[in-house]
């Protein structure tokens, strides 16, 4: 076939519990390991693993675990106190030196399409799941260490991670969560006390860098590629076991597994994926490497590698140097790539359903679901009551074209647009320059704002203000709506790079400052106004700011 949280705390009254007692009280049930077939070979050696969803493997002990930062919000989800998170025992456990009672570490087996080509077995090459906990509100969370040593799926790599990439993953996971984008989370960032050799751009210039580990947290880390590997190998019994487990564990509301329920499940995966991509487009996020092994079955943003946020609006921009030639994973192509990836998932689960037509119908529905969700999202970005096709299709099409006429900072443009108030001026008689005045801060190169650009922008602003006026809402209400969905602060690449530069010198203050800043991305934070400014010119082409690789 070929088819195109609220804060949950286990210990609300145990704030005086000793850190080790709090950690030991985490309740592991490890359902993934207990209910799915595992690799019978217990040796941690690189190999092809057949007929198994996972391999048991322990993290590699390191020299000197040290906590750099942790997310108090994720700690609350798990029921971990401040005292526990700031203890030496915490650093030991979440760097991989010590296992807690009930932990059963393993690495997952999966395959995937990478840059459109089938890559065969991939698997958790530098990720080790410590186990699944169930918190005091019966919420299930998988704890996973990234960078804790080799696994059978590491191929020729070492399974380690460096501080540079780990800072980026830690900060971005939490930044996305606070933006309201579906995502995996990050509990902690630790140093290993060891050096790791990395060639950042694979250009023959390796260097030694500080080793680090991120503890990632999600209800599940199951991916599209988790199903693809068993379909590709013809291991249909394992495919069915994994699908049934996923339905019962992560989609219990759909009912007991059957061909009809598999189809409903695929429809929900398509919808969740569409919603996730719409949120990416809303905040200007570019994933950078949308391989099928990086697509979550839960519709969560997964695997933060060479990601980036748009500074100047450019639908063709990709942060990934590996993708520089083809730009397969560029910003504007993300919705289509998600569709393609869903088609590969449909191919994989076809044996469970046995009919092409209903799968194709669900897949075809993705485009409509995405389009409808995207239109409503754009209406919200503009502060409108709802999307009205008769007027808003052309209005938004012209807006996106207009944003490319000069280098225009997407984040700043929408925040400044919210300030525009028809009550303070007469759009029909106000000149283009005065009409555009609140927006000028969004332009990187003022010389590009030519008279022709001013005329076209002014014409659009008049149409927009006239359209917004028909909704009969106050400027204050429109501004409040817009500021609730258009962030003022995002994790621009240069900001992450500055934090990395300081961290590599032993100064972690900027990591903590950014973590705090990004907790409230939609709020005015006057004391942190500098982080809302345009990307500085020095960052335009600096490695780590504009150019990133899969090693970044």
Which tens digit of pLDDT belongs to each residue from 349-360? 999 999 999 999
Per-residue pLDDT, 12: 34
For 486, other C-beta atoms within 10 Å of its C-beta total 25
Position 13 pLDDT exceeds 50:
no
Map tokens 């570490």 to a residue.
Answer: 105
Q: What is the DSSP letter of 51?
A: S
Contact yes or no for 125/154 (Cβ under 8 A): yes
Q: How confident is the model at residue 405 (pLDDT cuts 50, 70, 90)?
A: very high
Average pLDDT (229-258) is 98
Range from 84-98, 179-193, 313-327, 401-415 carrying the lowest mean pLDDT = 313-327
Per-residue pLDDT, 531: 97
Nearest C-alpha neighbor of 32 from the set 53, 9, 16 = 53
* Phi, then psi, of 344 in degrees rounded to 5: -70, -35
Average pLDDT (507-520) is 98
Per-residue pLDDT, 430: 78
Average pLDDT (231-248) is 98
Per-residue pLDDT, 552: 46
| Neighbouring C-alpha atoms within 13 Å toward the C-beta of 140 | 15
Contact yes or no for 159/151 (Cβ under 8 A): yes
Q: What is the DSSP letter of 534?
A: P
> Strand, coil or helix: what is 360?
helix
Q: How confident is the model at residue 166 (pLDDT cuts 50, 70, 90)?
A: very high
Can you give the pTM of this predicted structure?
0.94
Q: Using CA atoms, how far apart are residues 144 and 131, in angstroms rounded to an integer?
A: 7
Position 112 pLDDT exceeds 60:
yes
Active site residue 501: no
* From 76, 124, 279, 293, the catalytic residue: 293
For 416, other C-beta atoms within 10 Å of its C-beta total 18
With a pLDDT cut of 70, the percent of the chain lying above it is 94
> In angstroms, how far is CA 25 from the centroid of its own chain?
30
Q: What is the DSSP letter of 125?
A: S
Contact yes or no for 117/109 (Cβ under 8 A): no
What are the pLDDT digits (tens) for 17-33?
688 989 999 999 999 99
What are the pLDDT digits (tens) for 266-311?
999 999 999 999 999 999 999 999 999 999 999 999 999 999 999 9
Q: What is the DSSP letter of 543?
A: B
Locate the domains of the chain by residue range.
19-225, 386-472
* Stated length of the chain: 552
Average pLDDT (398-405) is 98
Per-residue pLDDT, 200: 74
Contact yes or no for 238/53 (Cβ under 8 A): yes
Per-residue pLDDT, 190: 98
Contact yes or no for 227/349 (Cβ under 8 A): yes
Dump the DSSP string for 374-395.
HHHHHHHHTT-SS--HHHHHHH
Mean pLDDT of the chain: 93
What are the C-alpha distances in Å from 106 to residues 42, 53, 338, 415, 465? 10, 10, 28, 45, 56
Q: How confident is the model at residue 265 (pLDDT cuts 50, 70, 90)?
A: very high
Per-residue pLDDT, 353: 97
Position 162 pLDDT exceeds 70:
yes
Average pLDDT (207-236) is 98
Torsion angle of the four alpha carbons 537, 303, 211, 56, in this order, in degrees rounded to the nearest 10: 180
Q: Which runs of consecutive H residues, i.e. helices, occur in 284-355?
A: 334-353
Q: How confident is the model at residue 426 (pLDDT cuts 50, 70, 90)?
A: low
Residue 58 backbone class (left: φ over 0; alpha: ψ -120 to 50; beta: rest): beta
Contacts of 166 (CB under 8 A, 6+ apart): 146, 147, 189, 212, 213, 214
Q: Using CA atoms, how far apart are residues 405 and 72, in angstroms rounded to an integer?
A: 42
Angle at 306 (CA atoms; ends 125, 228), nearest 5 degrees? 45
- Structure token pair of residue 382: 């503009």
What are the pLDDT digits (tens) for 444-499?
999 999 999 999 999 999 999 999 999 999 999 999 999 999 999 999 999 999 99
Q: How confident is the model at residue 542 (pLDDT cuts 50, 70, 90)?
A: confident
Per-residue pLDDT, 221: 98
What are the pLDDT digits (tens) for 117-147?
999 999 999 999 999 999 988 999 999 999 9
Q: Using CA atoms, how far apart are residues 441 and 156, in angstroms rounded to an integer?
A: 48
Position 5 pLDDT exceeds 60:
no
Contacts of 185 (CB under 8 A, 6+ apart): 71, 73, 74, 77, 173, 174, 177, 216, 217, 218
Position 15 pLDDT exceeds 50:
no
């Amino acid at each position: 076939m070929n088819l195109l949280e609220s804060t949950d705390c286990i210990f609300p009254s145990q704030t005086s519990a000793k850190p080790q007692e709090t950690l030991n009280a985490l309740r592991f049930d490890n359902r993934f390991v207990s209910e799915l077939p595992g690799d019978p070979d217990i040796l941690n050696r690189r190999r092809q693993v057949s007929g198994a969803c996972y391999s048991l493997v322990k993290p590699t002990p390191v020299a000197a675990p040290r906590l750099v930062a942790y997310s108090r919000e994720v700690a609350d989800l798990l029921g971990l106190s401040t005292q526990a998170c700031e203890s030496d025992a915490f650093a030991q456990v979440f760097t991989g030196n010590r296992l807690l009672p009930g932990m059963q570490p393993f690495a997952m087996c999966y395959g995937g399409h990478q840059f459109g080509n089938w890559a065969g077995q991939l698997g958790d090459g530098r990720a080790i799941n410590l186990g699944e906990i169930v918190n005091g509100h019966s919420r299930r969370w998988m704890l996973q260490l990234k960078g804790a040593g080799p696994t059978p799926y590491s191929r020729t790599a070492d399974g380690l991670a460096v501080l540079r990439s780990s800072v980026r993953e830690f900060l971005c996971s939490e930044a996305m969560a606070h933006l309201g984008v579906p995502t995996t989370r990050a509990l902690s960032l630790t140093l290993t006390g060891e050096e790791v050799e990395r060639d950042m751009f694979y250009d023959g210039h390796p260097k030694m860098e500080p080793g680090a580990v991120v503890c990632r947290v999600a209800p599940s880390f199951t991916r599209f590629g988790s199903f693809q590997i068993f379909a590709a190998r013809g291991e249909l019994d394992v495919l069915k076991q994994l699908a049934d487990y996923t339905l019962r564990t992560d989609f219990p509301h759909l009912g007991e597994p059957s061909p009809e329920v598999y189809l409903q499940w695929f429809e929900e995966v398509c919808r969740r994926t569409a919603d996730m991509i719409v949120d990416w487009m809303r905040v200007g996020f570019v994933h950078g490497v949308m391989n099928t092994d990086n697509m979550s079955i839960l519709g969560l943003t997964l695997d933060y590698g060479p990601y980036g946020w748009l500074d100047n609006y450019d639908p063709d921009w990709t942060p990934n140097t590996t993708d520089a030639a083809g730009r397969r994973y560029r910003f504007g192509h993300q919705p289509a790539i998600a569709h393609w990836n869903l088609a590969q998932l449909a191919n994989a689960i076809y044996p469970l359903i046995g009919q092409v037509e209903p799968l194709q119908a669900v897949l075809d529905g993705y485009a409509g679901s995405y389009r409808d969700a995207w239109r409503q999202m754009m209406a919200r970005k503009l502060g409108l009551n709802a999307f009205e096709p008769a007027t808003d299709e052309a209005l938004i099409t012209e807006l996106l074209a207009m944003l490319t006429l000069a280098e225009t900072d997407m984040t700043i443009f929408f925040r400044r647009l919210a300030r525009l108030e028809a009550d303070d001026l007469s759009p029909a008689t106000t000149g283009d320059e005065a009409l555009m005045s609140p927006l000028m801060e969004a332009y990187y190169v003022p010389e590009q704002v030519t008279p022709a650009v001013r005329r076209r922008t002014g014409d659009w602003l008049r149409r927009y203000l006239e359209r917004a006026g028909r909704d009969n809402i106050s400027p204050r209400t429109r501004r409040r709506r817009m500021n609730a969905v258009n962030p003022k602060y995002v994790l621009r690449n240069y900001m992450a790079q500055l934090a990395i530069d300081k961290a590599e010198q032993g100064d972690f203050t900027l990591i903590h400052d950014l973590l705090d800043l990004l907790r409230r991305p939609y709020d005015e934070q006057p004391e942190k106004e500098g982080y809302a400014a345009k990307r500085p010119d020095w960052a335009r082409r600096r490695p780590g700011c504009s150019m990133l690789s899969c090693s970044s």
